[in-house]
Amino acid sequence: MILFNQIHEIIFHGNGGYDYETVYNMPIWLRKFTFNKLKEHYQPSDEDDVISKSKQAMKTAQADGVVPKVNVPTYVTKASKVSPKK
């Protein structure tokens, strides 16, 4: 099952650069190397994913004419005075 999964992924994500016979007859080390390189390319890191989602959200908001509003916290709040117990 792992072999056929690798073959499928290489053919599918290879953008027409590989056919079934070529991938099936590849040396194992080369097929694993190719599979891992395609996997790295198509699976961005979590940080890249978060950045791209936030950029996309900003573009969508700007296209809709909506400017996102940022709530700035106020740190100048007064604390209530508590009298010490006697």
Asked whether residue 49 is domain-assigned, the answer is yes
Asked whether residue 75 is domain-assigned, the answer is no
For residue 15, give the amino acid letter.
N
Asked whether residue 70 is domain-assigned, the answer is no
3-state DSSP percent of the chain in helix, strand and coil, to 5: 60, 0, 40
Distance CA 50, CA 58 (A): 12
At 14 the pLDDT is: 86
Distance CA 6, CA 68 (A): 43
Rounded to two decimals, the pTM is 0.50
Closest CA to 38 of 60, 5, 63: 5
Instruction: State the total domains in the chain.
Output: 1
Domain hosting 51: range is 2-63
> What average pLDDT values come out for the chain (86 residues) when binned by 10 residues?
88 87 91 90 70 72 65 67 65
At 83 the pLDDT is: 66
